[in-house]
Structure 1
């Protein structure tokens, strides 16, 4: 009898432990737990939303997020005594992140053209070209040679917007324009022959080619597809934060800091794309 009572008591104890664990898990799921590490977005924290696969403006190098735009943002934070946070985001969800306050801005080769009324913008700081990358041995030397070819570009990219907008007549000459998740995939497809060209930003193109194991296998066509300007995008009507960041950038232009940071990315063409004051 004692053994039975002991066994029943043990079952009761186990049941309470299981219920407690489940309750704690539910509590955490609902947001009541303290296991999750969250950045508090306050007046002393500046959270930069960026695409982690968009070199040389923002990308992951080992365990660290680096890039020209992130270097600029880090220096802005330093001069304002802000805590700098680089927050990689799903590019498709960038507006939701900004509207919710999860990030303070979108700073990552972010195109102003066509989005002028959707955000509160800094002044443009980069004049960027959209170009085509092809294999060096492809016998493709001009945009006209892309007629009848399969071309790839990144989803929701400036190159895509150009090909579906002002340059739709060029797109209509392709056999197909394929949208991919990132340019790493596009370059693998270009190498394998799944596509014959990739439409992309010139800085990203130079990075992809320079970091490739066979950089001599690719060339950038001389004729650009289009040109665009990059800026820092803030939530619409958030002029106070924009003005503070812009004033700091103006100081960085004046003392040569922006030019010095750009020089670190000279192999990607960043210095030549700067819009100097």
Structure 2
């Protein structure tokens, strides 16, 4: 019954967000408007009968995506499942519209965002687990583009995911670089961004290092990576009043690492760009 209620809540929250957007919101999600942010959900500490509802972007390989068999898979989804098993929780993997994540977590429709989720710059918006994975933001171009450095992107079109860490970097620390581009475009997911890059509709994609590694491993002769834009860390994000469960997830991840499970999962996804060398929790 709890799973069914959670699923209904996800649908309701998404519909509410869509209604808010249709009545005049633009330029991104405002989690304080028509999302329940003025009446935040109360999340109690986890217990043995908890169902952990994990919100994730299903187009974000290798962290969360649709596998060849049609089921959801990915490094972070496997981690979440392993944590839930260790804690005696059930796990519900809930694919979400990335733009709707704040409305969904504020309403309690999902318990956490676990999907290559950058914590830097968001510390005041969520209760986070301790960071578990090092990440970088990078630029990827076609191998045959003739583009060798970031300076060569002057007057070129760069694409990234809407509300992404890469976009934050291009609008923040790397704003001067972005000002040399012809345009920074956003899109809903990175799979489509790389389709645009492959077709020549855009000249570069700004994305997470792991996303770049995944795309380059799948198409080793198609792309090349330019300079690093920034370094950051992934963590699991909960509603601000749910630090207790975030701390339980941290403890479970440390135990899984000590047991060797984390290294095994990194090896499982090694051909998709995941490396245990980038695991930082407990090191």
| TM-score normalised according to structure 2 size | 0.80
User: 1:136 Cα deviation (Å)?
Assistant: 0.8
The total of aligned residue pairs comes to 239
Residues 216-258 of structure 1 show CA distances to partners (whole Å, capped at 9, x for unaligned) of 121112x211111110001102122122222111111222211
Q: Which residue of 2 aligns with 1:225?
A: 229
Aligned-pair RMSD on alpha carbons? 1.8
Q: Which residue of 1 aligns with 2:55?
A: 49
Q: Which residue of 1 aligns with 2:133?
A: 126
The question of 1:200 aligning with 2:207 is answered yes
The question of 1:257 aligning with 2:264 is answered no
Secondary structure in 1 matching 2:144: coil
Alpha carbons 1:151, 1:198 under 8 Å: kept: yes
* 161, 164, 168: which one aligns with 2:171: 164
Secondary structure in 2 matching 1:114: coil
The question of 1:78 aligning with 2:44 is answered no
* Distance (Å, rounded) in 2 between the aligned partners of 1:191 and 1:92: 25
**Structure 1 regions of 5+ residues with no counterpart?**
1-33
* 266, 269, 279: which one aligns with 1:274: 279
Alignment of 1:1-277 (within 5 A): 38=4, 43-61=49-67, 62-212=69-219, 215-221=220-226, 223-267=227-271, 268-277=273-282
User: 1:39 Cα deviation (Å)?
Assistant: 5.0
| TM-score normalised according to structure 1 size | 0.82
Greater radius of gyration (CA): 1
Alpha carbons 2:60, 2:191 under 8 Å: kept: no
Q: Which residue of 2 aligns with 1:27?
A: none
Alpha carbons 1:203, 1:270 under 8 Å: kept: no
Per mean C-alpha deviation after superposition, the further-off stretch among 267-276 and 160-169 is 267-276
* Distance (Å, rounded) in 2 between the aligned partners of 1:170 and 1:78: 45
Residues 152-211 of structure 1 show CA distances to partners (whole Å, capped at 9, x for unaligned) of 111111111100011000100101111112222222221221111111111111212333
**Structure 2 regions of 5+ residues with no counterpart?**
8-46
Residues 13-71 of structure 1 show CA distances to partners (whole Å, capped at 9, x for unaligned) of xxxxxxxxxxxxxxxxxxxxx9xx82559942111111111111111113211111111
Secondary structure in 2 matching 1:205: helix
* Distance (Å, rounded) in 2 between the aligned partners of 1:183 and 1:247: 31
Secondary structure in 1 matching 2:55: strand
